[in-house]
Amino acid sequence: MNKFKKGNVQIVVVAMIILFLVVGGFFFWQLQSAGKEAMTKRENIESAETEAMEKKEVMAVSDNETVQKDGVMMAKILAKKNSTFSEFNLKDYEKALSEGKIVYLEFYANWCPICRAQETELIEGFNKLKRDDVAGFRVNFKDDQTDEDEKSLAEKFKIPYQHHKIVLKGGQVVINSADTWDVQTLVSELSNL
C-alpha cells in the first residue's frame, strides 16, 4: 500500500509541475502578446499623428530656421504666413508692442501634453490668419527651457499655469484665457480684434 501511495504522490507532483509550466507558459505568452499589442498601438498612434500633420499641411518652418537680423540670431519661427508665431524673444516682443501689433502670448510647458497638442492647432491657426499685424509668441512656462524674461512675463500677467493665453492690443490685455483654442477659435478671436 505504501508503494501505491508513493506512486500516486509522484504522479500528483509531476502533474502539478506540468500544470505549473502550462499555466506559467500561458501567462508569459499573454504578457508577450500584450507588450506586442501595446507597441503596435503606439506605432499606429504615431503613424496617425504623422498622417494628420501631413494632411493639415501645416506650413511650419523647420526646427533649424531662426530669424536673423543684423547678424543677431532672433527667435525660432514656428509659423509664418501673414502673421508670425515664434518662440518668445524679449526683443521681438518689445518690437511688436512698439509697432502697435496685436500680441498673442501662449504660455507653454514642454512637459505638458495639452500644450504640445495645442501647439499644432496654433501653428495652423497662425498660418490661416489673414492679418499681418499679429505677432504670436510661445512663452516657456515652468519647464527646463524657461528663462528669466519668460518668468518675469508670467509674473507680470499673473499666469497660474501653462496653456494659458494673453492677447494684447495697444499694449493692453484684451483676452486672458485658460481655455484650449483650436484653429477656428484662434482665427476667429484674433480676426475680430
Task: Quickly state the pLDDT bin for 165 (edges 50, 70, 90).
Answer: very high
Residue with the larger pLDDT of the pair 157 and 70: 157
> Of the ranges 19-23, 51-55, 70-74, which one carries the lowest mean pLDDT score?
70-74
Residue 12's Cβ-side half-sphere holds a number of Cα atoms within 13 Å equal to 6
Range ranked top by mean pLDDT from 17-21, 22-26, 60-64, 76-80: 17-21
Task: Quickly state the pLDDT bin for 169 (edges 50, 70, 90).
Answer: very high
Q: Supply the pLDDT for residue 193.
A: 87
186: pLDDT strictly greater than 60: yes
157: pLDDT strictly greater than 90: yes
How much is the average pLDDT of 35-40?
60
60: pLDDT strictly greater than 60: no
Q: Supply the pLDDT for residue 31.
A: 74
Task: Quickly state the pLDDT bin for 141 (edges 50, 70, 90).
Answer: very high
User: Among residues 89, 78, 61, which one has the least CA distance to residue 119?
Assistant: 78
- Contact status, residue 183 vs residue 124, Cβ threshold 8 Å: yes
Pairing, β 172-177 against β 134-140: unpaired
Strand partners, 135: 84, 103
Query: What is the share, in percent, of the chain residues with pLDDT greater than 90?
Result: 34
77: pLDDT strictly greater than 80: no
Residue with the larger pLDDT of the pair 31 and 69: 31
* 128 grid coordinates: 490661416
- Contact status, residue 191 vs residue 175, Cβ threshold 8 Å: no
Task: Quickly state the pLDDT bin for 71 (edges 50, 70, 90).
Answer: very low
69: pLDDT strictly greater than 50: no
The torsion angles phi and psi of 139, rounded to 5 degrees, stand at -100, 120
What is the CB neighbour count within 10 angstroms for residue 70?
5
Q: What is the pTM of this model?
A: 0.60
- Contact status, residue 92 vs residue 48, Cβ threshold 8 Å: no
